[in-house]
């Protein structure tokens, strides 16, 4: 298993580079213009000058190489500098100064030019780090809540198949999955913000939690988006859990375990559950990168302005460095979590072997 | 190979549709048994009836209800016929603007909602089913091959990672840039867009199914009965279709149900962003979306298409449940 | 609970500010916090690097120009003492230079003195060829900026300039602080993230925190020139979402005080207004929603020469849109008052003109507020364009009148498409509709077939406007040589490929004419020429509709400059 993991880790480097290249070519091929949102009152020759200032006159292979350099060489330097100067963990080390800041025209050719977003002209990685907290708060919470609700529902629905609980669960989860967040989001806003006035309809990203009262405020502004997202996640995972449990409940080994005199709880919660987890683990592992990817529509509806909103905004503004960097981060997470899922298969079912 | 996994699925769907045919002409005994089991599953029957009713409603309905969903009243009629409420609203609000000629009301431009719902349903059901089948076929094929043939596992799963990482919107932009006009030239504007949308939704949504199927196949192929089948010389093709597929049917069915819902919603998102059908071409997802702005004044404009989408998904879900039970010999024998 | 906490914060802010600046400034910051929502989020606070309206308007609270337009479109001195004119000697008699006098004693928010050197630096910053300045047209024709002393700025032009109020006037041309941006000139401009995110300005507010594409937190500028202003101590400027949500947050839930540019159907606005927490306000600039008519042939069979005017091999004329009977009938079939009622309500007016404002430039020679289907049919019949094969669609010389009608994705525009398609089908014109993503449609990507410049359609609908009050360069969008074509990478502003020698000659005359009355006369003639000769079908004169909370006072909607131009005067209305 260990050699398998190491081999997969090594293999993931060329995989990721290839994915980065494919994404880059896709973005190159896609029609679009970073100047599309500039008003029509700005003449086209000025827009052309602005495109040149963004570096769009350079051939695409030069731009791809520059981006690789920025992400794999300059950004790590910035990160190491940050570790040794501002963190408690490594702050005791002597301050490194690997990153050479650009100061005016004097050192423009030699300085470390970070990957800049075309919309904001600021380093993309800083923007991602700025957006991450609200995405993790909202989408992460929704995911954890969704899983915690979905697993028991799925298990019990399967165990009592076609009981009223199972029927109700099916009904609610199917409706939950069929109603898109652009509708359910607005619906809960109309009910809970406009009519009842209980919760805010707009998420305050500048809010900081430092005591109980501010935590309550944070909770209030999170409830609606978390509710909308958790409904979708619960619906999906509980269905897979239920289906997989049903498959296993009829297997011979369950009869054997019961015949051995094992308690019903042990049979269901240990034997059946463990064997039913493979599809569920797959779905959960596929979902984790999506947490970091944010939830595009829900974030827009509630103005959470997390990573999902950043990605859709960057795509609409044709901000290629931002789109490229964000999708690359997702690709990294996807590759890693699929690796974790593969390792977990082996743990859950020791018969699965990888050589 | 790629079409194999759906064969049992398709067959049984046909047997549901052609009810009388199956009953009058004795079919092969195995399918007869499957059908008997399916019939005894109340949920599945209910699902089949609802699904058939909705499908018939949207495909046959326009023959009876002959109002053009794109027709706008002209002149003075426009102001009197726009924004009418469904007639049931008159039950509790006697002052509501209702019109018996438009039982479900009209939209803000005076177009008949019933006609739009029926017309939109055709597109949505067609897109939902086709895209779902495409993504299931792709996902199951990739998953089974990757799980069963160790040599292909690495490349196929890395391909899956690649597709998972691709951003959907730029992909759609590129696809419509490259294929919209050639497809429109061959199949007409709407036909071309239909193929483009179905293909796009299909090839961007198979990855989850593929990963799930592969996970199950990895576990299954170490089971005793598979080893037994292998040892008596069953060939991989037969092994997969006879022994593997029936055992991984449940997650595939769940993927199918969820797939229909997400295909219908994705279609509406594409239209909303300007990549879908022409703007006067209603679909359920688009009607739902267009109604959101007027959710307080005219809730039915979002809620009716929402209910219809949910009903289709629910009925397909129960159908899937029934099929799975009917195809599972262990349950069938009980 | 909410009210109480609001009172608490405002009281706390007032106390802290009073303690800081003494009794004289007790008024400043006494009204606590104001919350503004723009559904397009600002990306950068340096308008020279962006050009987007959201960025120009958000930064206008921080950095300011020498003069602004007020809500009536009149020039108002801002950082300057007065508006230079020929009469007061500020503009030279030969119209080649303008001399601005800066108000003495102005301070930047960091306490340093505001001088003419900062103004000159701004000119150098924007005109640097490597900088990619979005507002460079403001400095068109400028040969130099001189600073005889700390409060005098002399701008010289290459030739006589009848309208010298381009540089340093209006929200698009604010003054940057030379000391802060000294290292950010030319190619180094994008590396100055801190400067671009927190410019030091002379405006009523200073940036405390800026999260790009999300939120700006600002506080009152302690060095603002009027010691009693601004009334608010803190501004939260939130961005993102959609117009519906922004309108709801102001008028229904009352979470925000001001929502920008609510492009929503009038019935939606009216329903929100029933929430009782806010009021919509509308103002009219020169924005016109119009249908552009393709004067070239968009037939796909023409390959590379599709939608290209003046193909030497011939066939570049549109098969039927070049016929006056066709485009006049198409215009007559449209019920403009109904379009206004459905789409814009109080934020729209019927117009037949390309230049509907300012009033002096608004031509009154055409009428179009009556729909005339019968007249349109008769006009087509008389021109011999009749339905000869009985399929309900008329033919001209055997070519059926089938048009492809494209526009960007937007709820109101799709309603307009459906309505106009209905009317055109009444008069025997078949319409195919297409809506395109705005970022593709308005993007200038020469590789995409769907841009509005390429115009691979027969007609297309969008809105356009001009900055300031002079339409000269806007009317220049109808000149023959500005038509997009392959050898200019499809760049160019003459979208309809309209071309008329008389128009070009008249526009040349406008460039040399001084005096507002004479200019207005020529501009009206140009307007009539392009509308009557098949350049476009104007539909609706669109206003800007924003909403403010009922408790927010001092809002004067200004469409000629930044909407937030007078944010220093905004205050909280005391209810008891």
In a domain, residue B94? The reply is no
The fraction of chain C above a pLDDT of 90, given in percent, is 40
Bond before C358 cis per omega within 30 degrees: yes
Closest-CA distance, B129 to chain A, in angstroms, reads 14
Closest-CA distance, C279 to chain B, in angstroms, reads 18
Angle between helices A273-293 and A212-249 (to 10 degrees): 140
Each residue's pLDDT tens digit, B38-94: 777 788 888 889 989 999 988 888 888 888 887 877 766 777 778 888 888 888 877
Closest-CA distance, B251 to chain A, in angstroms, reads 6
pLDDT in the model for residue B28: 56
Chain B residues lying within 8 Å of A243, measured CB to CB: 250-251, 253-254, 324
Q: Which of A117, A135, A153 is the last residue of a domain?
A: A117
Q: Which of A99, A117, A135 is the last residue of a domain?
A: A117
In chain A, % helix, strand, coil (3-state, to 5) comes to: 70, 0, 30
Closest-CA distance, A239 to chain B, in angstroms, reads 7
The fraction of chain A above a pLDDT of 90, given in percent, is 4
- Regarding an ipTM greater than 0.85, the answer is no
In a domain, residue C299? The reply is yes
- Picking from B251, B283, B333, B334 by the largest number of A CB atoms within 10 A of its own CB, the best residue to mutate is B251
Chains with at least 3 CB pairs less than 8 angstroms from chain C: A, B
CB pairs under 8 A between A and C: 194
Each residue's pLDDT tens digit, A222-254: 899 898 888 888 888 898 888 888 888 878 888
Each residue's pLDDT tens digit, C30-87: 888 999 999 888 888 998 888 788 888 999 999 999 999 988 888 899 999 999 988 8
In a domain, residue B128? The reply is yes
Q: Which of A90, A117, A144 is the last residue of a domain?
A: A117
Cα separation, A47 vs A35, in Å, equals 6
Residues A198 and A320 in one domain: yes
In a domain, residue B101? The reply is no
Locate C45 and state its tokens. Answer: 């606070």
CATH number at residue C354: 3.10.105.10
The neighbour count for residue A151, using CB atoms within 10 Å, is 18
Residues B262 and B305 in one domain: yes
In a domain, residue A24? The reply is no
- In A, residues 314-333, which contact C (CB 8 Å cutoff)? 315-318
Query: For chain C, what is the domain count?
Result: 1
Of the partner residues B150, B161, B212, the one whose CB lies closest to the CB of residue A19: B161
Is residue B274 within 8 Å of C408, Cβ to Cβ?
A: yes
Residues A268 and A341 in one domain: yes
Cα separation, C331 vs C463, in Å, equals 17
Residues A283 and A184 in one domain: yes
Residues A79 and A219 in one domain: no
Residues A84 and A152 in one domain: no
Nearest CA in chain A to B309: A178
Which of the four pLDDT bands, split at 50, 70 and 90, describes residue B17? very low
Residues B174 and B274 in one domain: yes
pLDDT in the model for residue B334: 44
In a domain, residue A69? The reply is yes
Q: Which of A88-92, B24-28, C114-118, C508-512 has the lowest mean pLDDT?
A: B24-28
Identify the domain containing residue C369 by its residue range.
284-393+458-543
Residues A268 and A164 in one domain: yes
Residues A316 and A221 in one domain: yes
Chain A residues lying within 8 Å of B156, measured CB to CB: none
Residues B50 and B6 in one domain: no
Cβ distance C440 to B70 less than 8 Å, yes or no, reads no
Query: For chain A, what is the domain count?
Result: 2
Residues B10 and B119 in one domain: no
**Strand boundaries in C363-480, DSSP class E:** 395-396, 399-400, 402-408, 430-436, 459-464
In three state form, how does the secondary structure of C260-292 look?
Answer: CCCCCCHHHHHHHHCCCCEEEEEEEEEEEEEEE
CATH number at residue A224: 1.10.3720.10
Q: Which of B26-40, B242-256, C517-531 has the lowest mean pLDDT?
A: B26-40
Our CA dihedral for C51, C53, C57, C62, rounded to 10 degrees, sits at -20
Cβ distance A42 to C137 less than 8 Å, yes or no, reads yes
Residues A204 and A93 in one domain: no
pTM of the model: 0.83
Tell me the CA distances in angstroms from C262 to A80, A304, C254, C343, one per residue in order: 46, 20, 16, 12
Cα separation, A85 vs A83, in Å, equals 6
Tokens 């293999």 identify what position?
A11
Nearest CA in chain C to B73: C422
- Picking from C306, C373, C376, C435 by the largest number of B CB atoms within 10 A of its own CB, the best residue to mutate is C435
Residues B189 and B251 in one domain: yes
Residues B243 and B132 in one domain: yes
Residues B123 and B20 in one domain: no
Chain C residues lying within 8 Å of A305, measured CB to CB: 41, 211, 213-215, 239-240
Nearest CA in chain A to B43: A162
Cα separation, B332 vs B312, in Å, equals 26
pLDDT in the model for residue B10: 36
In a domain, residue A7? The reply is no
Backbone angles phi, psi at C484, to 5 degrees: -65, 140
In a domain, residue B278? The reply is yes
pLDDT in the model for residue C404: 93
Close Cβ partners of B64 (under 8 Å, ≥ 6 residues apart): none
Tokens 């408790």 identify what position?
C551
Residues B285 and B145 in one domain: yes
Chain A residues lying within 8 Å of C275, measured CB to CB: 194
Is the CB of residue C265 less than 8 Å away from at least one CB of chain B?
yes
The helix (run of H) or strand (run of E) holding residue B305 is helix B300-327
In a domain, residue B55? The reply is yes
In a domain, residue B85? The reply is no
Closest-CA distance, C444 to chain A, in angstroms, reads 6
Each residue's pLDDT tens digit, C247-279: 989 998 888 999 998 888 888 898 889 888 899
Cα separation, B142 vs A8, in Å, equals 19
Question: Is it the case that residue C104 has pLDDT exceeding 70?
Answer: yes
Closest-CA distance, C370 to chain A, in angstroms, reads 30
CATH number at residue B44: 1.10.3720.10
In a domain, residue A35? The reply is no
In three state form, how does the secondary structure of A240-305 look?
Answer: HHHHHHHHHHCCHHHHHHHHCCCCHHHHHHHHHHHHHHHHHHHHHHHHHHHHHHCCHHHHHHHCCC
In a domain, residue A210? The reply is yes
Cα separation, A119 vs C213, in Å, equals 9
Nearest CA in chain C to B289: C411
- Picking from B80, B84, B293, B299 by the largest number of C CB atoms within 10 A of its own CB, the best residue to mutate is B293
Cβ distance C434 to B177 less than 8 Å, yes or no, reads no
Identify the domain containing residue A64 by its residue range.
55-117
Residues A315 and A240 in one domain: yes
Q: How many residues does chain C have?
A: 576
Residues A112 and A134 in one domain: no
Residues A111 and A136 in one domain: no
- Picking from B148, B164, B289, B318 by the largest number of A CB atoms within 10 A of its own CB, the best residue to mutate is B164
- The pairing of strands C402-408 and C459-464 is parallel
Chain B residues lying within 8 Å of A187, measured CB to CB: 295
pLDDT in the model for residue C549: 93
Is the CB of residue C251 less than 8 Å away from at least one CB of chain B?
no
Residues B62 and B24 in one domain: no
Residues A218 and A308 in one domain: yes
Closest to C70 (Cα-Cα) out of C516, C543, C561, C546 = C561
pLDDT in the model for residue A294: 63
Is the CB of residue A303 less than 8 Å away from at least one CB of chain C?
yes
Is residue A57 within 8 Å of A51, Cβ to Cβ?
A: yes
Each residue's pLDDT tens digit, C296-332: 998 888 877 888 887 667 778 888 998 999 999 999 9
Query: For chain B, what is the domain count?
Result: 2
pLDDT in the model for residue C574: 76
Cα separation, B218 vs A126, in Å, equals 41
Identify the domain containing residue B210 by its residue range.
40-71+111-327
Cα separation, C137 vs C167, in Å, equals 9
């Amino acid at each position: 298993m260990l050699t398998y993991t190491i081999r997969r880790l090594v293999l993931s480097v060329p995989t990721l580079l290839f994915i980065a290249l494919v994404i880059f070519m896709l973005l190159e091929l896609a029609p679009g213009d970073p100047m599309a949102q500039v008003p029509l009152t700005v003449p086209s020759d000025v827009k052309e000058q602005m495109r040149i200032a963004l570096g769009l006159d350079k051939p695409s292979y030069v731009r791809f190489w520059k981006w690789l350099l920025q992400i794999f060489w300059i950004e790590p330097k910035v990160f190491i500098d940050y570790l040794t100067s501002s963190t408690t963990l490594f702050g005791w080390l002597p301050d490194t100064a690997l990153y050479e800041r650009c100061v005016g025209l004097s050192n423009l050719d030699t300085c470390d030019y970070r990957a800049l977003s075309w919309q904001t002209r600021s380093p993309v990685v800083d923007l991602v780090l700025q957006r991450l907290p609200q995405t993790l708060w909202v989408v992460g919470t929704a995911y954890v809540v969704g899983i915690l609700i979905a697993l028991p529902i799925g298990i019990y629905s399967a165990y009592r198949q076609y009981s009223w609980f199972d029927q109700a669960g099916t009904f609610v989860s199917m409706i939950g999955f069929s109603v898109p967040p652009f509708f359910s989001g607005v619906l809960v806003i109309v009910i809970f913000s406009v009519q009842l006035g209980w919760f805010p309809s707009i998420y305050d990203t500048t809010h900081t939690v430092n005591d109980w009262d501010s935590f309550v405020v944070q909770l209030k502004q999170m409830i609606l988006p978390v509710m909308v997202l958790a409904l979708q996640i619960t619906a999906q995972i509980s269905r897979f859990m239920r289906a997989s449990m049903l498959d296993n409940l009829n297997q011979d080994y369950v009869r054997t375990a019961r015949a051995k005199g094992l308690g019903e709880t042990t049979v269901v919660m240990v034997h059946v559950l463990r064997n039913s987890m493979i599809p569920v683990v797959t779905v959960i592992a596929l979902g984790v990168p999506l947490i970091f990817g944010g939830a595009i529509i829900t974030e827009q509806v509630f103005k959470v302005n997390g990573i999902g909103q950043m990605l859709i905004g960057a795509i609409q503004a044709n901000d290629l460095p931002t789109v490229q960097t964000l999708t690359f981060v997702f690709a990294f997470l996807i590759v890693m979590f699929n690796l974790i899922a593969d390792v977990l298969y082996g743990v859950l079912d020791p018969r699965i072997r990888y050589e | 190979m790629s079409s194999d996994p759906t064969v049992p699925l398709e067959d049984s769907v046909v047997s549901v549709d052609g009810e009388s045919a199956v009953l009058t002409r004795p079919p092969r005994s195995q399918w007869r048994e499957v059908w008997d089991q399916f019939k005894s599953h109340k949920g599945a029957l209910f699902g089949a009836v609802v699904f058939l009713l909705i499908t018939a409603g949207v495909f046959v309905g326009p023959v009876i209800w002959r109002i053009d969903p794109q027709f706008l009243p002209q002149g003075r009629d426009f102001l009197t016929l726009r924004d009418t409420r469904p007639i049931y609203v008159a039950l509790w609000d006697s002052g509501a603007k209702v019109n018996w000629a438009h039982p479900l009301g009209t939209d803000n431009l005076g177009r008949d909602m019933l006609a739009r719902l029926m017309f939109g349903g055709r597109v949505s059901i067609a897109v939902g089913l086709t895209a779902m089948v495409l993504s299931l076929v792709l996902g199951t094929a990739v998953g089974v091959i990757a799980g069963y043939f160790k040599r292909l596992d690495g490349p196929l799963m890395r391909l899956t990672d690649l597709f998972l990482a691709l951003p959907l919107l730029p992909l759609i932009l590129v696809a419509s840039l490259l294929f919209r006009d050639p497809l429109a030239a061959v199949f007409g504007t709407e036909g071309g867009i239909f193929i483009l949308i179905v293909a796009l939704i299909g090839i961007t949504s198979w990855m989850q199914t593929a990963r799930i199927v592969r996970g199950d196949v990895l576990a299954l192929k170490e089971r005793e009965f598979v080893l037994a089948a292998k040892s008596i010389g069953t060939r991989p093709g037969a092994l997969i279709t006879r022994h593997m597929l029936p055992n991984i049917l449940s997650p595939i069915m769940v993927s199918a149900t969820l797939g229909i819902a997400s295909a219908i919603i994705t279609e509406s998102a594409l239209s909303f962003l300007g990549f879908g059908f022409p703007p006067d071409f209603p679909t359920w997802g688009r009607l739902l979306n267009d109604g959101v702005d007027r959710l307080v004044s005219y809730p039915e404009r979002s809620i009716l298409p929402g209910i219809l989408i949910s009903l289709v998904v629910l009925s397909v879900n129960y159908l899937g449940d029934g099929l799975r039970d009917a195809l599972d010999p262990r349950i069938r024998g009980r | 609970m909410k009210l109480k906490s609001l009172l608490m914060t405002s009281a706390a802010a007032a106390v802290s500010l009073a303690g800081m600046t003494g009794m004289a400034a007790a008024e400043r910051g006494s009204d606590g916090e104001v919350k503004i929502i723009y559904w397009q989020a600002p990306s950068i606070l340096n308008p020279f690097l962006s050009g987007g309206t959201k960025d120009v308007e958000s930064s206008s609270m921080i950095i300011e120009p020498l003069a602004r337009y007020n809500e009536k479109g009149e020039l108002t001195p801002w950082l300057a003492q007065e508006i230079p004119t020929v009469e007061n000697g500020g503009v030279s008699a030969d119209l080649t230079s303008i001399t601005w006098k800066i108000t003495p004693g102005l301070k930047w928010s960091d306490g340093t003195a505001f001088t003419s050197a900062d103004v000159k630096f701004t000119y150098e910053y924007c005109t640097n060829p490597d900088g990619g300045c979005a507002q460079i047209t403001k400095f068109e024709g400028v040969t130099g900026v001189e600073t005889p002393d700390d409060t005098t700025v002399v701008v010289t032009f290459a030739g006589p300039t009848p309208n010298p109020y381009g540089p340093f006037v209006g929200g698009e041309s604010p003054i940057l602080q030379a000391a802060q941006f000294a290292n950010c000139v030319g190619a180094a401009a994008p590396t100055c993230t801190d400067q671009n995110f927190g410019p030091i300005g002379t405006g009523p507010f200073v940036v405390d925190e800026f999260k790009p594409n999300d939120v700006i937190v600002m506080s009152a500028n302690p060095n603002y020139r009027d010691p009693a202003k601004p009334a608010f101590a803190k501004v939260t400027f939130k961005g993102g979402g959609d117009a519906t949500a922004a309108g709801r947050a102001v008028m229904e839930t009352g979470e925000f005080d001001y929502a920008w540019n609510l492009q929503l159907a009038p019935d939606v606005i009216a329903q929100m207004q029933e929430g009782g927490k806010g009021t919509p306000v509308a103002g009219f600039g020169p924005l016109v929603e119009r249908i552009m008519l393709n004067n070239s042939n968009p037939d796909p069979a023409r390959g590379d020469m599709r939608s290209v005017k003046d193909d030497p091999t011939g066939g570049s004329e549109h098969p039927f849109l070049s016929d006056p009977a066709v485009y006049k009938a198409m215009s007559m079939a449209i019920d403009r008052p109904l379009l206004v009622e459905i789409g814009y309500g109080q934020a729209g007016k019927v117009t037949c003109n390309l230049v509907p404002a300012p009033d002096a430039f608004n031509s009154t020679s055409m009428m179009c507020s009556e729909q005339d289907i019968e007249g349109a049919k008769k006009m087509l019949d008389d021109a011999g364009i009749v339905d000869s094969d009985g399929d309900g669609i008329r033919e001209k010389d055997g070519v059926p009148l089938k048009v492809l009608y494209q526009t960007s994705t937007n709820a109101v525009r799709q309603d307009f498409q459906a309505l106009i398609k209905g009317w055109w089908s009444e008069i025997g014109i078949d319409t195919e509709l297409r809506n395109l993503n705005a970022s593709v449609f308005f993007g200038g990507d020469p590789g995409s077939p769907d841009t509005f410049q390429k115009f691979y359609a027969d007609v297309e609908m969008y809105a356009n406007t001009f900055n300031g009050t002079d339409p000269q360069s806007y009317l220049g969008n109808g000149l023959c040589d500005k038509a997009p074509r392959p050898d200019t990478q499809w760049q160019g502003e003459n979208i309809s490929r309209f071309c008329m020698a008389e128009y070009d000659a008249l526009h040349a005359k406008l460039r040399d004419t001084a005096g507002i009355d004479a200019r207005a006369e020529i501009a009206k003639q140009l307007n009539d020429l392009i509308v009557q000769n098949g350049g476009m079908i104007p539909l609706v004169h669109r206003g800007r509709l924003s909403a403010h909370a009922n408790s927010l006072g001092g809002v004067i909607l200004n469409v000629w400059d930044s909407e937030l131009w007078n944010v220093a005067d905004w205050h909280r209305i005391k209810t008891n």
